[in-house]
Amino acid sequence: MGDLIGLVAVAAPFLMVVAIVWIANQKKLEEKKIEATASQSAEKAAQYASQIQKLEDRVQVLERIVTDRGYDVATQIEALRDVRDVEEKDSGVPLEINRKEQV
């Protein structure tokens, strides 16, 4: 029994040092994981901000079309379709907006 107590008394400080080193390494690994996650999150946030800006720009263009030029969007679409039909020689299926308006 005395030998066991002596062995524990001698081994305990070494085990404590090993535990302290292991805990310190685990702490460093966790900090690195947090930094990596933060940088990935910042990168994703920048991508989302860029995408949001593009969408806002597109919405502004659409708002200008509707408000600055009145409600002649259908006329503009038809004009674009007429240009396309001339270029493609009626290869597409035309939409009949006039027919819908009569119904």
Whether 79 maps to a domain, the answer reads no
Range of the domain at 30: 1-53
Residue 89 located in a structural domain = no
For the chain, the domain total comes to 1
Q: Determine the residue type at 100.
A: K
Higher pLDDT, 16 or 72: 16
Helix ranges (H only) for the chain are: 2-68, 73-88, 97-102
Least confident of 16-25, 61-70, 81-90: 81-90
- Residue 27 CA to residue 20 CA, distance in Å, equals 11
> What backbone torsions phi and psi does residue 76 show, to the nearest 5 degrees?
-65, -40
- Residue position matching structure tokens 């390494």: 25
Please, which pLDDT band fits residue 98 given cuts at 50, 70 and 90? low
- 3-state class of 35 per DSSP? helix
At 62, list the tokens: 């659409």
pLDDT per residue as tens digits for the range 22-76: 999 999 999 999 988 888 888 899 899 999 999 999 888 888 877 765 566 677 7
Check: CB of residue 78 under 8 Å from CB of residue 101: no
Among the residue ranges 1-10, 27-36, 88-97, the one predicted with the least confidence is 88-97
The answer as to whether 17 is a domain residue is yes
Question: Does 45 map to a domain?
Answer: yes
pLDDT at res. 103: 46
- Per-residue pLDDT at 92: 52
User: Residue 74 domain-assigned?
Assistant: no
Please give the pLDDT value at position 65: 74
The answer to whether residue 39 is domain-embedded is yes
